[in-house]
Structure 1
Amino acid sequence: MAERNDISDLLAFIGREGHWRERLQEVVAEHLMPALEEFEIDQDGLADLLGEQWSGVLWGCGFEDFLSQRYEDGNIVDLYLKRRGWKETALNREYFAALRDGPVSLYEVSDVQPGASMVLRDLLSDAPPVTVREKSATRTLKQWDRIAVRVMAERDHHIISGALLPFRAEAVDFLLAGLRDALKLKKRDALRLTCEQLMGSAPIFTTAWLFIEIDRALTPAEPQFTNSDGDDVLFHDMRFSLTSGVTQRKVAEQLDRVRDFFPEGAKFWNWLAARKKRGSKASGGIMLDAEMEGATVLGSLELKGKTLLVTVNSAERAVKVEALIRSVAGDLLKSPLTTVRTVDQMRADQSHVGPREGADEIPPEIARQLMQDHLDKHYRETLDAPIPALGGKSPRQAVRTASGRKKVVEWLKYLENGSARPADGPIAEYDFGWIWDELGLRELRGWRA
């Protein structure tokens, strides 16, 4: 007797029916060939490029689409159930029928309960969100992920099909553009598809996913790191030796005269921006900068022995900070010796530093709390900071309009989803709920069936 959701007997039946086997191959090819031809690779090359684990999933996308096809001589599920349905369990018969009648769609994931369930909201229809029972996928999916899959009712609950594709943000954009083009919809038209339209668009989902994933695999993007000035990040460690006879106190007195050098003790200064940057040179890369008291930390200065140590994260800031230091203490310091490190070199240096021992080692629970406190402070300041994704408005300003609220919701989902990507650690555990509450968006954070 077949197991629940076991397709082995159905596959054997298709294999014995020559014209149905050919039709299955044609539908699978419809899902795969546009991308394979565009990137000039074959199916073996696709497996090598993306990994064997995706070969079965991609074939499954075509197979599930094939089960829904109606030909002049009928549908394969109807034919199989008529001839061999007596061999299948009631659940299996229901499962095949649900695959026959259920379209693939794009869903947003929320309320993930690992190993148990998740809530899926259909982004291409006005259907209410549903809670899906699922064990394996819920162990890897995170809040606000987007997935293409078939959702099916099973007795008193919902399940998903086996062919699930996780969609990156760029794949979502590619898919939506492809659907609009295929259905001849204008950009301003609401993308709300009927079941019939979704049924006919199944290959577009696979193609959109493949185009993005193959492109990423062939040309892996190196992350571009910039600071809030838009400068490329290159860490500059500058060592100014004190000239003969000069004391630390003398240098400190002169550094205290620089308006943007804020002392933390007698021998340490933070170089802070006079005002918040608005990212006039902002790029699409990863922005590396810290904030303190509502201002950007441009660098740090510290007196150690007979040396003034200065650290900044770009060549442009190195030039500026040297000019500031020279303007007040030029005759007290020698020309600096500068070490330049990339982000990768900085990471490598940090990885070779062993854990601190004894009293200097911070207990994990304390380190975790410190990180949580830092994130609280950072995001609280961010609520009043201009955000490029919000049209240069702060989140508090943007939520005052209906269109702004939608942008803030998407921005919050992006933050929350990105933070959840690491599997463990304090960032993954961070609860963004207070931010939704603070902005009056709690009712938009989650959907339940």
Structure 2
Amino acid sequence: MKDSHDLSGLIRFAETDATWRPRLAKVVDEHLLPALEEFEIDFEDLAELLGEQLPWTLWGCAFEDFISRRYGKHGLSVVDAYLARGKGREGAAAREYMLGLRDAWASLYEVSEVIPGQSMKLRDLIAGTAPVTVTEHSATQSLNIWDRIAARVVPVGDHHVISGGLLIYPAAASELLFDGLRQVLKLKRGQDPKLVPEKLQGCAPLFSNAWLFSQLPGLLDPQMPDLTNTDGDDLLFCELRFPFTKGVQQAQIADMLDRMPELESCGAKTWDWLAATTRRKPGKSGGLVIGSFVDGGTVLGTITLKGKALLLNVNSRERAERGKAMIQAVAGKLLRPPLTAIQTAQQVMRDQQSQGDGRQSDGEDLPPELAREVLAEFLDNHYHAILDQPVPVLGDKTPRQAVRSAAGRKKVVDWLKHLENGSARQPGTPMANYDFSWMWDALGLMSERQ
């Protein structure tokens, strides 16, 4: 007996019938050809770039779009023709699924709740219809809260399911899709595009195209993103080693460091060099900003006393020069001129990877339960504090300040979703189970989380 969601008979009919075969080919071209031509690749090349499964998922998205299209003066779909001719032996459940898929629309959904192996709640970000809970087994094993997916929701009996043509949508693909819809609808940047389901049924190729155009450039020409620190300087890891002058003791240098207002002791023989004020220059377009923060502000570098030397570690050439001048101004003849070692971000990552492959546990790891408790306590303290600290993505407003305006409220919702989704994407770690609901409640946003 065939599975109730098995479309193999319908696919075989569409690929062999003289009337429907060219129609199917045209729809598949609409979904795949723009990207294949733009990047000068063939469909067969997608398997090498995306893996064996994803190209056929994309083909499935095209086929489901084909199912929903109507042709001729009577507006018949391939499903109508297939069932009318009695080409298959499908039971009532399979027929109901085909008819439901025929009338479903592709849209971008946000996952607002997941019960692995059972179900998930989806919110349509474009049609704006009421959230719907779908019964799903396999996809819910890998999806996390606030993930976005392009899919079709199909009513079957007294419940809903999702179609097989499901694409997990990263942020870049979402923005590319929204930009395309804004252009079509003549909306301003930042406005959320809204389309009724009937209009969405004609937009299905946009979902495949936005996904492909966001993914293929990085796969065909993978590049290291531009990395900067919070000052906007290119990331470069510098260690300056200041040898003690003959006869100088660690206690003398420690006393000097304790008296420097720019420094804050953070452990035995270790000091953080803190920015007097947060200086944030724009990073390079598309780059990543790397920084360290403590309650006192941005950490510009770390100073450590080791043997007969003072070590200054910073993450840019500019900070190395500033730190060198700062230390020499107060050290006088206590320290000799520094020796400098420099590593790029790529070199550091290669070193860490080669070490990590063969690294052995030192036997001092915390038990998992205790690790979860320690991390939960740390995160609670961190996130309670951050509610009253300026956040760059919120326009350097605190979350409590930002929620006071409609525009700020939307930014805070997106920020919370980003935090929660990033945490959920770390399976097997204590982060994956952290409960962010209290933050939504504390900011009066619980209704936005439903």
Q: When the two structures are superposed, what TM-score results if normalisation uses the length of structure 1? A: 0.92
| Alpha-carbon distance change, 427 to 287 in structure 1, aligned in 2, over 3 angstroms | farther
Q: Show the counterpart of 2:67.
A: 67
Matched, 1:392 2:396: yes
Q: Show the counterpart of 2:282.
A: 281
Q: Show the counterpart of 1:290.
A: 292
| Alpha-carbon distance change, 278 to 301 in structure 1, aligned in 2, over 3 angstroms | closer
SS in 2 for 1:321: helix
SS in 2 for 1:52: coil
| Alpha-carbon distance change, 382 to 295 in structure 1, aligned in 2, over 3 angstroms | same
Q: 1:419 aligns with which of 417, 420, 423?
A: 423
Matched, 1:31 2:31: yes
Q: Which amino acid aligns with 1:426?
A: P
Q: Which amino acid aligns with 1:309?
A: L
Range that drifts further, 317-326 or 39-48:
39-48
SS in 1 for 2:19: helix
Q: 2:262 aligns with which of 260, 277, 297?
A: 260
The 1-side partners of 2:270 and 2:67 are apart by 69
Q: 2:444 aligns with which of 430, 440, 443?
A: 440
The 2-side partners of 1:416 and 1:241 are apart by 46
SS in 1 for 2:340: strand
| Alpha-carbon distance change, 124 to 341 in structure 1, aligned in 2, over 3 angstroms | same
Q: Which amino acid aligns with 2:151?
A: V
The 2-side partners of 1:86 and 1:280 are apart by 64
Structure 2 regions of 5+ residues with no counterpart? none
The 1-side partners of 2:223 and 2:375 are apart by 29
| Alpha-carbon distance change, 30 to 231 in structure 1, aligned in 2, over 3 angstroms | same
Q: How does 1:299-378 map to 2 (within 5 A)?
A: 299-351=301-353, 352=355, 354-355=359-360, 357=362, 360-378=364-382
| Total equivalences in the alignment | 444
1:291–1:378 Cα contact (<8 Å) kept: no
SS in 1 for 2:144: coil
Q: Which amino acid aligns with 1:9?
A: G
Matched, 1:195 2:209: no
The 1-side partners of 2:118 and 2:433 are apart by 19
Q: Show the counterpart of 1:58.
A: 58
Q: Which amino acid aligns with 1:375?
A: L
Q: Which amino acid aligns with 1:430?
A: Y
The 1-side partners of 2:302 and 2:33 are apart by 55
RMSD: 2.3
Could you tell me how far 1:407 is from its partner in structure 2?
A: 1.3
Taking every aligned residue pair, what percent have the same amino acid on both sides? Answer: 52
| Alpha-carbon distance change, 37 to 234 in structure 1, aligned in 2, over 3 angstroms | same
1:14–1:21 Cα contact (<8 Å) kept: yes
Q: Which amino acid aligns with 1:442?
A: M
| Alpha-carbon distance change, 21 to 123 in structure 1, aligned in 2, over 3 angstroms | same
If asked which structure has higher relative contact order (CA below 8 Å, sep 6+), I would say 1
| Alpha-carbon distance change, 325 to 15 in structure 1, aligned in 2, over 3 angstroms | closer
| Alpha-carbon distance change, 377 to 321 in structure 1, aligned in 2, over 3 angstroms | farther
| Alpha-carbon distance change, 189 to 254 in structure 1, aligned in 2, over 3 angstroms | closer
Q: Show the counterpart of 2:6.
A: 6
Q: Which amino acid aligns with 1:10?
A: L
The 1-side partners of 2:229 and 2:191 are apart by 38
Q: Show the counterpart of 2:43.
A: 43
| Alpha-carbon distance change, 222 to 363 in structure 1, aligned in 2, over 3 angstroms | same
| Alpha-carbon distance change, 124 to 158 in structure 1, aligned in 2, over 3 angstroms | same
1:179–1:201 Cα contact (<8 Å) kept: no
1:68–1:99 Cα contact (<8 Å) kept: yes
1:240–1:337 Cα contact (<8 Å) kept: yes
Matched, 1:109 2:114: no
2:117–2:141 Cα contact (<8 Å) kept: yes
Q: When the two structures are superposed, what TM-score results if normalisation uses the length of structure 2? A: 0.92
The 1-side partners of 2:344 and 2:382 are apart by 25
Matched, 1:380 2:381: no
Structure 1 regions of 5+ residues with no counterpart? none
The 2-side partners of 1:93 and 1:201 are apart by 25
| Alpha-carbon distance change, 64 to 356 in structure 1, aligned in 2, over 3 angstroms | closer
SS in 2 for 1:22: helix
The 1-side partners of 2:89 and 2:45 are apart by 38
Q: Show the counterpart of 2:218.
A: 216
Q: How does 1:235-274 map to 2 (within 5 A)?
A: 235-264=237-266, 267-274=269-276
Q: Show the counterpart of 1:406.
A: 410
| Alpha-carbon distance change, 133 to 53 in structure 1, aligned in 2, over 3 angstroms | same
Could you tell me how far 1:375 is from its partner in structure 2?
A: 3.0
1:48-79 Cα deviation digits (max 9, x unpaired): 22222112111111111111121116321111
Could you tell me how far 1:238 is from its partner in structure 2?
A: 2.0
1:255–1:329 Cα contact (<8 Å) kept: no
Q: How does 1:229-240 map to 2 (within 5 A)?
A: 229-240=231-242
Q: How does 1:58-137 map to 2 (within 5 A)?
A: 58-72=58-72, 74-84=76-86, 87-137=89-139
